[in-house]
Amino acid sequence: MIGKVVVSVASVLLLVGVAIGVVVIINKNGNTPLSPQMKAVQGICQGTSDKASCVKTLEPVKSDDPNKLIKAFILAVQDAVTKSSNFTGKAEGDLGSSISPNNKAVLEYCKKVFLYALEDLGTILEEMGEDLNQIGSKIDQLKQWLIGVYNYQTDCLDDIQEDDLRKTIAEGIANSKILTGNAVEIFHTVVSEMAKLNAKVDDFKNMTSGVFSPSDKGTAPVDKETPPVVDTPVADPDGPSRRLLEDIDETGVPTWVSGADRKLLANAGRGRRRGGGARIRANFVVAKDGSGQFNSIQQAVNACPDKNPGRCIIYIKAGIYREQVIIPKKKNNIFMFGDGARKTVITYNRSVGLSSGTTTSTSGTVQVESEGFIAKYIGFRNTAGPNGHQAVAIRVNGDRAVIFNCRFDGYQDTLYVNNGRQFYRNCVISGTVDFIFGKSATVIQNSLIVVRRGNKGQYNTVTADGNEMGFAMKLGIVLQHCRIVPDRKLAAERLTVESYLGRPWKKYSTTVVINTELGDLIRPEGWRMWDGESNHKTCRYVEYNNRGPGANTNRRVNWAKIARTAGEVSQFTVANWLSPVNWIQQSNVPVTLRL
């Protein structure tokens, strides 16, 4: 059925383009008609944030075929990103030998992520083919890659510490950012309207305007009069967890995880079975005592094949591994597991504050640039301490990441959920400032979130989401069935040290807290503004059915929403937020959309 539904995309898009194009011209210029080409262009561009740049990009394309127009637009994005990549290289050259270590490091990082963006754009063009009718279920993945292309560009800017350099680079890459954002919106509009109208071409024929209106952008609704929620039991992340969503299987794994990967997760346990030997056969074994093929994790990662259609399985025996591990983009589908999150520990101390030539992104003890990453029973640490400022324990930049039974310990910026769809369950995450942050679609379930004591006078913020693309996009952090508590050093001062659920990093920052136990360390206001910015006016912060002394919402900030019904937060369940989950093909249990 999916193939048959998407078969109508091109024709529907053309019909909508015709309708909207005619109406726009009539409203502005009386009865002046549009050419078929411009009608199609207007239809495609109507749902974009920057319609003028979209139309200008497509005007030279001498075709009214939406297939050719949309492909031409992606080619234009590719050209713009190439120019932005060249610009960052030129900027580095212009600074010459006087360039500071930090500026050199960040521009090198910018060049790397622009290459990632160009690689993904090439893949998008290849997968699109010549006919949109043949995209089928690929369209969600194509949109995810396009969002990644956008995020790569913002990653570059966000890592730049020096104001003048950030301004220079921002101006130089502005066009590619605008075009990429438009491309994401073009793909999203096609998908969402086809889903709403069930590919009924006739429903489009009588439409005259507003079909592609990006109404999901703008200020999130605020409900100031919502009464406090009623407490309900919360699952213990340190013990057996309940099956809380019908779209999660009985082991707690999202149903979009393949059957083979589900078996790996089930069989990869802590320690060894009686009689010796790991629970599953690993491709590579890492051991500090020399009993494996490698004594460093990076060596094992390097040994995994590039662009692997299967799994590369790395078993990391108990030990403290003091190294920075980088999983390159080409090393996809890596699954690593250890002997326990306190026994198998990867640790490093790189930070922006204390390590010369380091950016937020490159500070990560483990940096996952590839898709399909899975980890289980491993501890990830950054020991730079509060004086190191941005100091990431793990940065996950690849789509479809699954992380179970792991620990992430740090202070500021501990867990960087950089990009893609990510699922965490039964984890422990500790930190101080913005210690769960990123630009991805992330759900963290049944996990223990530990707020630490930082430097004197420092406040704590659990989350800092970086959605700057609007609420139509599935970008944001969801905490579900978790516990938020102080660590031992903070416990005595928890009522005097200010601790908040989060603060809005970007304009459309989205964070949702569902069925979670909030300790009394959480301030009555709940959320904090980002100093010097007005993102709190446009962000989307939602609380639903939480419990504990920190969950009293009587004094919450008026820009946070207190949801009254399950329906108000159903879009943030794993089935919706991390879709498509392919639950029909992979689930052996009933599936519902309720919490």
Give catalytic residue positions. Answer: 434
Residue 421, SS3?
strand
| Residue 155 near residue 418, CB atoms below 8 Å | yes
| Residue 477 near residue 465, CB atoms below 8 Å | yes
Alpha-carbon Rg for the chain, nearest whole angstrom, is 24
Residue 387, SS3?
helix
C-alpha distance from residue 594 to each of 196, 203, 478, 590 (Å)? 20, 29, 16, 12
Bridge partners, 172 (sequence order): none
Show the tokens assigned to 504: 């809005």
Show the tokens assigned to 75: 């080619």
Can you tell me the distance from the alpha carbon of 85 to that of 18, in angstroms, rounded to the nearest whole number? 36
| Residue 31 near residue 83, CB atoms below 8 Å | no
CA-CA-CA-CA dihedral for 182, 185, 190, 191, to nearest 10? 150
| Residue 463 near residue 447, CB atoms below 8 Å | no
Q: Which of 445, 406, 461, 396 is nearest to 429 (CA)?
A: 406
Show the tokens assigned to 243: 């099956």
Q: 489: phi > 0 → left, psi -120 to 50 → alpha, else beta; which?
A: alpha
| Residue 116 near residue 155, CB atoms below 8 Å | no
92 C-beta neighbours (distance < 10 Å), count = 17
Can you tell me the distance from the alpha carbon of 32 to that of 55, in angstroms, rounded to the nearest whole number? 18
What do you get for the CA distance between the two ends of the chain, in Å? Answer: 27
The secondary structure of residue 411, as a DSSP letter, is S
Residue whose entry in the numeric block shows the structure tokens 């090393």: 331
C-alpha distance from residue 70 to each of 1, 63, 132, 200, 299 (Å)? 24, 11, 9, 21, 42
Residue 478, SS3?
strand
Show the tokens assigned to 436: 């769960």
Residue 437, SS3?
strand
What lies within 8 Å, CB to CB, of 440 at 6+ separation is 396, 417, 418, 419, 420, 421, 422, 475
